[in-house]
Chains A and B, each alone.
Chain A
């Protein structure tokens, strides 16, 4: 390898590292729109639509703690008592019929109507790495729906190409658009490991709010379906560590905490 080639290669690698370094603070700023730092309790309503008509409604309470710890409690009548615990890349499921915590794989976590990952994964900075592709006009939704207000025209966005930084994350790759001025998330294309675009996520912020109030997920595979995730409340809440022990899932005391 000639000295010149070596210097060029070094420069290229250094550029890549700088691009990656540039992404981390951006993702942290974007995460702040999804949830505040520290431990939080999030109340979530999910509406699933088919052909534009409401098909199913679900309710969840999610406890999130730093260190990639999340506990999802299912609250809607047909799912009540189900719990999913996520500790980094490890997952457990509790079904109310058996009252036995069951260790599940990342793929099993994705099964079911609403991916638990869509609900509980609320930080990009811990899960993804990547680079800034460029600066573009902020994307506009291609369809009209009442839950999806169109972002203001003439805004500029940063286009980020992100890939999973660790195993077990819900999506293998993201194309994320952040408003350049505020770092507010606008849109993400969510890709599974096969490279197929599974969903298109739009993040809606009501005027005057600092927190995303809803996320609209357009199904990339079954295009007649879409899901609206409403973040009803996002409150700082220091939940006890004991909640995050798989054996404690059967403990009733954590319900309603």
Chain B
């Protein structure tokens, strides 16, 4: 339905003949993943291989005229040993309009990112972007209707997200009412958010950013959630069984959760920039939850001789889904160093540390922006002390490349 609407609106606009901005881009993003064969979470399944090469090809069309904006993607996924998959998706399609001089509205599917933070944005309660993803595709917005009111130094936004969708397991599709307040004053930005939904009940948070001088800036934010959810392996939690015949991952509700981030950034005239950020994700696994999951994998390995290899490997793969979370532990520290040479070339290196268990994620990458082409590449390694959660990840190394070419008026 949305796709038809997108095509129809694009056609109407092109016939309209007014000054429409249009751009077409092609992104080719191959990725190579190398497994950690010594990880207890490494599953050797023929249809879900960890040591694999994949490539995502995205053809993106963006149209803009006045308050109308549309962004669609045609995606072709190639994976070693698997058949080619293709599909179309609507990233965004919305219209921004005005009610009065200082009050506006938005309707459609729109990316709406709120708050402050680099590796974690606690106040991002509508879009909920995964900030730790590597080489991510373009964001897909949330269906919403919004009212915005601006004054010279404040802004209020009231959002009805996913109207009519009701309670959903996926936050991105959960019906909710959200309010964002923003005020800037001199060197400070202050953000407040509140969100109510049946799934999460009530969330509220506050954040701020301050520019101290030409070089230094600081930011911090915190969010309280009345209720939150996470996926836990029920075999690990209740210890009754060792193997499951169906996916034992169960969605479990938690009460009184929270997220917080605090960070500082220094940028010199030379183009060097350093970021340090500490963040807490109350929805990530606790160390005791990891201990219980580790104990389960040990029990499964001890009993492996008695069950078919496929059952053992499948159970390992289900347990390894814990590694799909954006943050694997609650307390995290990110250090990032980057350089902008002023000619479109930006190399960077970053290290994410989990002080509770000595885990470490190292990422090195670079981006080069040319006239119409953009090229980026990078490498990420999971490591740390012997029993660190990241060290036991079934994936040890990730390499990625991206080439993008954009055409448009």
Contacts and interface: CB of A to CB of B under 8 A. Distances in A.
Interface of A: 55-57, 75, 77-81, 90-91, 97-100, 103-108, 110-113, 167-168, 192-194, 222, 225, 240-242, 244-248, 250-253, 255-256
A222 B374 CA distance: 22
Contact of A251 (B148, B152, B214, B407): B148
B187 interface: yes
Given A90-B186, A99-B111, A167-B214, A242 B268 contact: no
Contacts of A252: 64, 67-69, 94-96
Contacts of A112: 340, 342, 344
Contact of A242 (B102, B265, B342): B102
B101 A247 contact: no
Interface stretch (B226-234, B351-359, B365-373, B381-389): B365-373
A113 B371 CA distance: 11
A108 B339 CA distance: 11
19 contacts: A77-B23, A78-B369, A78-B374, A90-B184, A98-B139, A99-B139, A103-B184, A103-B209, A105-B211, A105-B213, A105-B215, A111-B273, A194-B269, A245-B150, A245-B151, A245-B152, A248-B155, A251-B106, A252-B95
Contact of B267 (A79, A99, A107): A107
B268 A107 contact: yes
Contacts of B129: 98
A56 B271 contact: no
B310 interface: no
A97 B129 CA distance: 11
Contact of B65 (A81, A105, A106, A256): A256
Given A103-B217, A252-B67, A80 B155 contact: no
Interface residues on B, range: 35 or more
Given A78-B371, A98-B111, 20 more contacts: A77-B23, A77-B408, A78-B369, A97-B139, A99-B127, A103-B217, A105-B214, A105-B215, A108-B267, A110-B269, A111-B271, A112-B342, A113-B343, A113-B344, A241-B152, A242-B102, A252-B64, A252-B95, A253-B96, A256-B21
A236 to B, nearest CB: 20
B29 to A, nearest CB: 14
A80 B63 CA distance: 11
A251 B150 CA distance: 11
A240 B101 contact: yes
B406 A99 contact: no
Contacts of A78: 369-374, 406
Contact of A113 (B104, B138, B268, B342): B342
A246 B189 contact: yes
B112 interface: yes
A106 to B, nearest CB: 4
Given A80-B23, A97-B139, A107 B215 contact: yes
Contact of A246 (B67, B182, B374): B182
B153 interface: yes
A253 B21 contact: no
A217 B57 CA distance: 39
B97 interface: yes
Contacts of A98: 111, 113, 129, 139
B128 interface: no
Nearest to A58: B371
Contacts of A225: 343
Contacts of B186: 90
Contacts of B189: 103, 246
Contacts of B224: none
B8 interface: no
A57 B152 CA distance: 34
A110 B215 CA distance: 11
Given A80-B408, A248-B150, A100 B157 contact: no
Interface in B112-166: 112-115, 121, 124, 127, 129, 138-139, 148, 150-155, 157
**A91, A244, A256, most chain B CB atoms within 10 A:** A256
B292 interface: no
A217 B371 CA distance: 19
A46 B112 CA distance: 31
A225 B138 CA distance: 33
B372 A77 contact: yes
B13 to A, nearest CB: 12
A106 B214 contact: yes
B19 interface: yes
A80 B217 contact: no
B66 interface: yes
A241 B267 CA distance: 30
B64 to A, nearest CB: 6
A81 B104 CA distance: 20
A105 B67 CA distance: 30
B32 to A, nearest CB: 23
